[in-house]
A and B are shown apart, each in its own frame.
Chain A
Amino acid sequence: MRVGVVTFPGTLDDQDAARALRLAGAEAVPLWHADHDLKGVDAVFLPGGFSYGDYLRCGAISRFAPLMTELVPAAQAGLPVLGTCNGFQILCEAHLLPGALVRNAGLHYVCRDQRVRVDNASTAWTTDFTQGQEITLPVKHGEGRYVADAETLAELEASGRVVFRYAGSNPNGSLNDIAGITNEAGNVVGLMPHPEHAVEELTGAPGVDGRGFFSSIVRKLVNA
């Protein structure tokens, strides 16, 4: 099981992403933004950070990276892709996921341990959770308020493509408390919280609720 971890200039959570994958038994393969090469990986993780300094708009420059010109068609053809935080923003900018992430309603960057409800436990990255399960993951972002037009929202809701919702209080004013969504096929998932920071008892957020993401994809790839 080889899962690519993409590094753009300004990516920050790539080391955490690779560690989380390794702990789940996958091989983490570094992918470089400037290469037209997915190195034959079985899935891809776009980690968080401030790619290109968030200049212009979060993710707006990264979507044009050479690697993305390979990743977009591969994802459209079914390659499992997970984007967290800046990775989610890049997936939206690349139109692999609908909608956009804008400045938090409170106008401040927010880092906190957040309750999150799993509303779709059948995507490539969430099968080891149960529908309605509440987990704790850290959020840490300044631009995490999910917005989309009414029609898109209705469609996401009707088709069960809202994968995660903030439980308790909403940290950023996201529409419908949306924390993460998936594409129609369920292979591309983006979310603002950080599962890779919740995989060890010793470090990061309290608990290990993030492990389910990585065990889910490993199980899927083993069974494939």
Chain B
Amino acid sequence: MPTSAASVDTVKRAGQTPDERMPFAELGMKQDEYDRVVAILGRRPTGSELAIYSVMWSEHCSYKSSKVHLRQFGTKAPKSEALLVGMGENAGVVDIGDGWAATFKIESHNHPSYVEPHQGAATGVGGIVRDIMSMGARPVAVMDSLRFGGLDQGDTRRVLPGVVEGISHYGNCLGLPNIGGEVVFDPCYIGNPLVNALCVGLLRKDQIKLATAPGPGNKVILFGARTGADGIGGASVLASATFEDESQAKRPAVQVGDPFMEKLLIECCLELYQADVVVGIQDLGAAGVSCATTELAAKGTGGMTVDLNLVPLRDPTLRPEEILMSESQERMMAVVTPGDIDAFLAICEKWDVPATVIGEVTDTGRLVMTWDGEVIVDIPPGTAADEGPVYERPFHEPLGQHDLNLDTPDSLERPSDLRTTLLQLIASANLSSREWVTSQYDRYVRGNTVLAQPADAGLLRVSEVMPGAEETTRGIALATDGNGRYAKLDPYAGAQLALSEAYRNVAVTGATPLAVTNCLNFGSPEDPEVMWQFAEAVRGLADACKTLGVPVTGGNVSFYNQTGSAAINPTPVVGVLGVIDDVAKRVRSGFPEAGLRVVLLGATYDEFGGSEWAHVAHGHLGGLPPRVNLEAERDLAAVLAEASKQGLLEGSHDLSDGGLAIALAEACLAQGVGVTVSLPGDDAFVDLFSESAARALVCLKPEHFEALTDLCARLDVPCYGLGETGGDSLVVEGVLEATVAELRMSHEATLPGVFG
């Protein structure tokens, strides 16, 4: 690629020098992929064209290894009248009633967050928020699903504080409440932390915007931050490569965020939508201008001209190839009719957002870019945006999988002193209080937060989101869950259990689950054993979504989460969005007061494979995860929704990691209210610590007990009266007793003990 400022590789020059060697391999492109570009163009690509194809055909942008599997989310999708926009757009959109729609998506920023935790995590939030904005919505909340190496491993003390600070600074500056998520520790993530950021937005149903550039003569406007050298090659170099020992050298490839500019962009976009001056819009994320121009053009009339000299630069020395690959943050691209240009630019000026017309929509079917008057790009945009390579990667069950499944937890020594086990678990890395993290996030801003962490799900009021819009009583609930240990034991079941838990977490608030987003974090797709985990997880998730009637609306795949040959546990993270008709009828988390009946819903089995107890007490991972029971999940959710609607419940909490014992302890800790229970089964250890799915804890006034048991009988959901709230201790009769104060002390000391 020519590098002197004077000469730029033009289409004309490419025709004259057909044999010039192009650095496709350095840009992460394989020989056969390069050959296909040459075949498409009928000549060698220019440097700028190569830049476009290399980023658009990277794993990160093209989903080339995952596409053949992800199709199941479409082919197996349950019929859903709620689905307004499905996969393939910036984010899915679902109908939540009364003319309102919600759009939500989760996305990974794993690799950048390892290299530079603060900026990596911050720009992860920024990117997903722009996806939501580009659908025409006001972003209304964020959540983060985070995974780090072991709590006792040194690098966790570098990565976690940086990631949390990055999310905190960026999200708080944007004025978006952070309403939930996860923080998980496991040594398998030590060189590959997972930072999955979710954003949800609300819009009126008739306000949906799409990434499309129709109408020849319409103008293409680039607005937001100016383009700099950040993240150049980020998409293909960072997101598609495995870390070996070169992380230091890759540092400049991480993008740097400016949340202030993003906040201005949010308000600016909403005013542009209000003024109805946007024909199509796309955010600039991975692959920057390359991605935005090719995708907009491919989905529109089909052609576009762009004068790259007009792109406003922060670094005037940038070459056209670099401008095309730059991942500078806080940028958007809009298609605007000529008559609306003045109004568009005036709104941008009001918000101090730089905006520049850089091109025009055409009907030529070609994306043509010029630099200093010479044509440097002339390609059919769809070949870059939609017709990337598709790989049917080989896969097979890992060699050790059978032995792993045979190594059941049945032989592990079970404790006799269950009080000690409870105190040990409640203080463990994964079950201890997350407050050290979550207190750094603003959960109140915008004033619509009904529930936030440590509640099972975040819950937002929909009304008052947009001044002047129609009133509604509705609320939306959101939860994310994943369990890499379950998925390691059985990726098919593990993905289904992640969905089951997120679905259940939404249900315990009283909301009805409606739609799904997912972030699939795996090792290298070039390893057939990893590819098997991926294929199984996708198959499991697609099947479960079908059974539960909740369609996948979008998501993200993150491969290459491995250091050397050691891949992370397969970690499908699932986000579920639900709707509650009357948000005032939401069920609070935990025990709100004394004198309430406490009831366990769902059946308990002896299930400890992949459990928190096996992990903490024995460092054991083997056997099979808890049995998936989707019908039971659906029935449980129906009971919870109906009970909330009838106003039967005063509090609720889902049962998951650590089982009933942890659920009881957390319910006590919520408001400092104790409880006395007796166990339904004859094995106290199984009753207290098994992680069987499809279970929840509820509390209610004694006069509502019969109505609840009737409801459970009708829907065939097992239901056991456990006891009553009150006092200042958690008492399991004949088994254990712990004061709420000592539970709190154990629960809250762990993370501050490590992070200060």
Contacts and interface: CB of A to CB of B under 8 A. Distances in A.
A212 B584 CA distance: 23
A23 B443 CA distance: 21
Contacts of A16: 444-447
Interface string A2-21: 00000001101101100100
A140 B444 contact: yes
A159 interface: no
26 contacts: A9-B263, A9-B352, A10-B263, A10-B264, A12-B174, A13-B445, A15-B464, A16-B447, A49-B175, A50-B263, A53-B258, A54-B173, A108-B165, A108-B168, A109-B169, A110-B440, A111-B438, A111-B441, A111-B444, A112-B439, A202-B583, A203-B447, A203-B449, A203-B450, A204-B444, A204-B449
B200 to A, nearest CB: 16
**Contact size class for B?**
20 to 34
B168 to A, nearest CB: 5
Nearest to A110: B439
A71 interface: no
A194 interface: yes
Nearest to A197: B444
B440 A202 contact: no
Nearest to B172: A109
Give chain A's interface residue range (CB within 8 Å of chain B).
20 to 34
Contacts of A53: 173, 258-261
B351 A9 contact: yes
A64 interface: no
Interface string A188-199: 000000101100
Interface in A114-169: 138, 140, 142
Given A53-B173, A202-B450, A202-B583, A138 B444 contact: yes
Nearest to A11: B175
A92 interface: no
Given A16-B444, A111-B442, 16 more contacts: A9-B260, A10-B260, A10-B263, A12-B174, A13-B445, A50-B260, A53-B258, A53-B260, A54-B173, A108-B165, A111-B444, A112-B439, A140-B442, A197-B444, A202-B584, A203-B450
A169 B345 CA distance: 49
Contacts of A138: 444
Nearest to B449: A203
Given A10-B260, A111-B441, A15 B467 contact: yes
Interface in B258-275: 258-261, 263-264
B351 to A, nearest CB: 7
A71 B453 CA distance: 39
Per CB-CB distance, the 10 closest pairs between chain A and chain B, nearest first, are A53-B260, A12-B175, A16-B447, A197-B444, A50-B173, A140-B442, A109-B440, A109-B168, A111-B442, A204-B444
B208 to A, nearest CB: 23
Interface string A169-190: 0000000000000000000000
A101 to B, nearest CB: 16
B309 interface: no
A111 B444 CA distance: 9
A217 interface: no
B398 to A, nearest CB: 41
Contacts of B168: 108-109
B448 interface: yes
Contacts of A196: 447
Q: Quick one: which of B173, B264, B444, B450 has the most chain A CB within 10 A?
A: B444
B464 A55 contact: no
A205 interface: yes
Contacts of A54: 173, 260
B439 A55 contact: no
A196 B444 CA distance: 10
Contacts of A203: 447-450, 461
Contact of B260 (A15, A55, A110, A142): A55
B172 to A, nearest CB: 6
Nearest to B440: A109
A205 B175 CA distance: 16
A159 B444 CA distance: 34
Contacts of A194: 444
A203 to B, nearest CB: 6
A128 to B, nearest CB: 21
Nearest to B174: A12
A204 B464 CA distance: 14
Interface in B422-475: 438-450, 461, 464, 467
Interface string A47-58: 001101111000
B173 to A, nearest CB: 5
B461 A50 contact: no
Contacts of A108: 165, 168, 439-440
B444 A52 contact: no
Best-surrounded residue of A54, A108, A196 (most CB of chain B within 10 A) = A108
A10 B260 CA distance: 6
Interface string B240-260: 000000000000000000111
Nearest to B442: A140
A19 B258 contact: no
A202 B444 contact: no
Given A53-B173, A108-B440, A202-B450, A12 B445 contact: yes
A141 to B, nearest CB: 9
Nearest to A108: B440
Nearest to A49: B175
Given A9-B264, A53-B173, A202-B461, A111 B584 contact: no
